Amino acid sequence: MKYTIVDSHVHLYPESHLPTLAWHKPGNPIGGQYSIDQYRLAAKKVPTGDQKSDDGEPYTLRGFVYLEVDRKSSVNEADGGWKHVLDEVSFLARIINGEPTPGEGHKPEDSELCLGVVPWAPVPAGQETMQRYMTLVQERMGTEKAWRKVRGVRYLVQDKPAGTMLGDGFVESLKWLGREKLVFDLGVDARQGGLHQLREAVELCRRVYDGVKDDEKVVIVINHMCKPNHRVPYSGRESIISHPEFNEWKQYVSAMAAAGPTTYMKLSGQFTELPPLPAEPEPDYDSLAERLEPWTDVIFDAFGPARVMFGSDWPVCNTGGGGQSAWERWRQVVQRVLDRRGLTEEEKQGFWGKVAVTAYGLDADI
């Protein structure tokens, strides 16, 4: 059986852009050049569509969905808060249009690897501001080809004050996104941000979907399993499923899934939540899959295989996954998760690529 991978969660940035990143500090383990050249190296064991595998590799990498990389920004345009995020859009336009600037780390032939783009947007500001901002995004994209690849937006709430998601402007923006057929990527953090973020996200789903026609409901793609707390004491499955924090996380995740068929979940981002892996030796992939199983079972039980997709969270995955081998390590873990779950071949094909194509409305035949 052949599987075509659409990596639903990738970040890219050239080293020259590091000063524009909100989270960059001296000594940052991913404070270097992480562009398409480096991404290709990270995923080198999986051939892309224009390459051939000599070792019978059943996987092909069709491409990725780019997620905004949390540049310095603010909702207020007047204070210059849109400068760096719009420059990020211009960088992506150069990738998609095959017009690299020297030193940016991509080539004209990389254009087709970028299947979709999810830029930052001033979501709390409401519909009018969103419309103005997205007009600027369209201008920066430069071509119809590039603009068509803008499939949604993200505004990270994992580091924002409580109540941010429930503001009138936030809810209004998501309803507008639904009418415009644009996705919203939801980033919350149960471990570091607190479970109250998930409780708020459940209420957000209720408000966004309440009274909205089915064909105007926004697609919400939830990042990284909501970053569950894998640091709770672990001595086997029972130690997890009996833990109150696990059960509260389960309650909220299940409620998000039940909010409607337009909520999706990414199986991604877990290397930053698990205890860090060393660069050497190779980890025990079966043990890692077993440790994740209580949590991934909740995801598949709640969303069903038709609403769960693969994402690498590259290069952030490198920080807990042992460095440059983290992309491939995560693929190996996930393969075992799917096998332990007993997914059918059709469900596996969906997970690796077709679910992302459906959720984001990608123009990609797989």
Per-position DSSP letters for 146-166, written without gaps between them: HHHTB-EEE---TTSPTTGGG
- Helices 285-303, 326-341: axis angle to 10 degrees equals 60
Residue 107 lies in a domain: yes
pLDDT at 56 over 90: no
pLDDT in tens, 169-190: 999 999 999 999 999 999 999 9
Predicted confidence band of residue 365 (pLDDT cuts 50, 70, 90): confident
pLDDT of residue 57: 81
Predicted confidence band of residue 17 (pLDDT cuts 50, 70, 90): very high
Residue 141 lies in a domain: yes
pLDDT of residue 82: 98
CA 252/CA 275 separation, integer angstroms? 24
CA 257/CA 308 separation, integer angstroms? 10
* Cβ 227 vs Cβ 188: under 8 Å: yes
pLDDT at 159 over 80: yes
Residue 365 lies in a domain: no
Q: What is the mean pLDDT of residues 3-32?
A: 97
Question: What is the phi/psi pair of residue 118, to 5°?
Answer: -125, 90
As a whole number, the mean pLDDT across the chain is 96
The CATH number of residue 74's host domain is 3.20.20.140
Predicted confidence band of residue 150 (pLDDT cuts 50, 70, 90): very high
pLDDT of residue 49: 73
DSSP per residue, 260-276: -TTEEEEE--GGGTSPP
Q: What is the mean pLDDT of residues 230-256?
A: 97
pLDDT of residue 80: 93
Question: What is the phi/psi pair of residue 264, to 5°?
Answer: -130, 165
**Integer CA distances (angstroms), 175 to 184, 206, 208, 263, in order:** 10, 12, 6, 14
Q: How many domains does the chain have?
A: 1
Residue 262 lies in a domain: yes
Could you tell me which of 108, 134, 6 has the C-alpha nearest to residue 65? 6
- Beta-carbon neighbour count of residue 355 at 10 Å? 25
pLDDT at 52 over 80: no
Could you tell me which of 297, 199, 295, 306 has the C-alpha nearest to residue 262? 306
Q: What is the mean pLDDT of residues 40-48?
A: 96
Residue 366 lies in a domain: no
pLDDT of residue 50: 60
What percent of the chain has a predicted confidence (pLDDT) above 70? Answer: 98
pLDDT of residue 285: 98
Residue 16 lies in a domain: yes
Q: What is the mean pLDDT of residues 234-258?
A: 98
Beta bridge partners of residue 241, listed in sequence order = none
pLDDT in tens, 94-141: 999 999 999 999 999 999 999 999 999 999 999 999 999 999 999 999
- DSSP conformational letter for 118: E
Residue 153 lies in a domain: yes
pTM of full prediction above 0.75: yes
Q: What share of the chain is helix, strand, coil (3-state, %, to 5)?
A: 50, 15, 40
- Beta-carbon neighbour count of residue 206 at 10 Å? 14
Q: Which domain holds residue 159?
A: 3-360
